[in-house]
Amino acid sequence: MKSVVCCVMLLFIGGIVECAAKRRNHNDPPTDKLPITLYYESLCPYCRAFVTEQLNPSMVRQDRLAFTELTLVPYGNARKDNTTGKVTCQHGVLECELNAWHGCILEHHNITDALKLIACMMRSGKNQIDKCATRYSIDVTAVKACIKSRSVDDILEKYRKETQKIVHLYSGVPAIAVDNVYNQADQNDLTDNFDDFFCAKYEAKFNKKLKNCL
65-76 residue pLDDT tens? 999 999 999 999
pTM score, two decimals? 0.86
CATH number of 34-206: 3.40.30.10
For residues 169 and 97, give the distance between their C-alpha atoms in angstroms, rounded to a whole number: 26
- φ, ψ of residue 166 to 5 degrees: the values are -125, 0
Distances (CA, A) of 198 to 37, 66, 141: 12, 13, 34
Closest CA to 125 of 91, 174, 155, 153: 91
For residues 158 and 46, give the distance between their C-alpha atoms in angstroms, rounded to a whole number: 23
Per-residue model confidence (pLDDT) at position 93:
97
The answer to whether 201 and 190 have CB atoms below 8 angstroms apart is: no
Characterize the bridge pairing of strands 87-88 and 34-40: unpaired
For residue 62, the SS3 value is coil
| pLDDT at 1 > cutoff 90 | no
Exposed (0-12), middle (13-18) or buried (19+): which is 55, by Cβ within 10 Å? buried
Characterize the bridge pairing of strands 34-40 and 68-74: parallel
| pLDDT at 17 > cutoff 60 | no
Q: Classify the C-alpha dihedral 165-168-159-62 as positive or negative.
A: negative
**Tally: H helices and E strands in the chain:** 10, 6
Characterize the bridge pairing of strands 181-182 and 175-178: antiparallel
Per-residue model confidence (pLDDT) at position 5:
44
The 10s digit of each residue's pLDDT in 157-212 is 999 999 999 988 988 999 999 999 999 999 999 999 999 999 999 999 999 999 99
The answer to whether 187 and 176 have CB atoms below 8 angstroms apart is: yes
Residues 12-23, mean pLDDT to the nearest whole number: 46
Per-residue model confidence (pLDDT) at position 92:
96
